[in-house]
A and B are shown apart, each in its own frame.
Chain A
Amino acid sequence: GENVEQHPSTLSVQEGDSAVIKCTYSDSASNYFPWYKQELGKGPQLIIDIRSNVGEKKDQRIAVTLNKTAKHFSLHITETQPEDSAVYFCAASSPGGGADGLTFGKGTHLIIQP
């Protein structure tokens, strides 16, 4: 089945700086890569996603890049703000859904230092 590795597990940045979270996946058939933000006591919130026919996607301060050849994708957050502090998860999914559903990385705890 699919395996998703996510790094780093913890990331501390100064407010206003950029944050980058990286993920790699193992199944070359995977073609959908969402990112979720989870705040304490809440369920994961979909913040951006990318499909394999696109190399980059941007939504205001958030961008995601995908390198299909290397099988890795990254989340970029610019001009970080205190409300960006949360746990971020990357995930991958293959066309058929498969027995794995969405396969998630282990998460990155992003801390925004004032």
Chain B
Amino acid sequence: KAGVTQTPRYLIKTRGQQVTLSCSPISGHRSVSWYQQTPGQGLQFLFEYFSETQRNKGNFPGRFSGRQFSNSRSEMNVSTLELGDSALYLCASSMGTGGGYEQYFGPGTRLTVT
């Protein structure tokens, strides 16, 4: 069974631009969660989508948004990029929502904002 895939793997953007990242979950998984990983803050939860609905949201500004499609693929968007948005963005898929489900991570998208 194929794992979680994320595209693109690397991105370089300029301050003020916007970016869209994509995640394809493991086949049969209906929940997709997004995390931001930085050296200073570690792994921080952004949001979770299940059945095309946002179920949970972490403590990030409204510039961070996401969506999920009927095939469970998910995208996250960051508008008006800031230097501090430079990070590894990880998505994780699981079979269900509500805590206690095993989450499997993709390789991440490395975003650099200049």
| A residues at B contact (CB < 8 Å) | 31-32, 34, 36, 41-46, 49, 51, 89, 91, 93-107
On whether A101 and B58 interact (CB within 8 A), knowing A42-B107, A43-B90, A106-B42, the answer reads yes
- Shortest beta-carbon distance from A10 to chain B in Å: 14
Structural contact, A43 and B57, CB atoms closer than 8 A: no
Structural contact, B107 and A43, CB atoms closer than 8 A: yes
Give the complex CA separation of A32 and B44 in angstroms: 17
Which of A32, A44, A99, A101 makes the CB contact (< 8 A) with B105?
Answer: A44
Give the complex CA separation of A102 and B105 in angstroms: 12
The 5 closest A-B pairs by CB, nearest first: A101-B45, A43-B105, A97-B99, A104-B43, A32-B100
A interface SS class: loop
Structural contact, A99 and B58, CB atoms closer than 8 A: yes
B interface SS class: strand
On whether A97 and B107 interact (CB within 8 A), knowing A44-B90, A107-B42, the answer reads no
Identify which of residues 63-110 in chain B touch chain A, using a CB-to-CB cut-off of 8 Å: 90, 92, 97-100, 102-108
On whether A34 and B103 interact (CB within 8 A), knowing A98-B56, A101-B45, the answer reads yes
User: Which residues of chain A have C-beta atoms less than 8 A from B90's C-beta?
Assistant: 43-44
Structural contact, A97 and B55, CB atoms closer than 8 A: yes
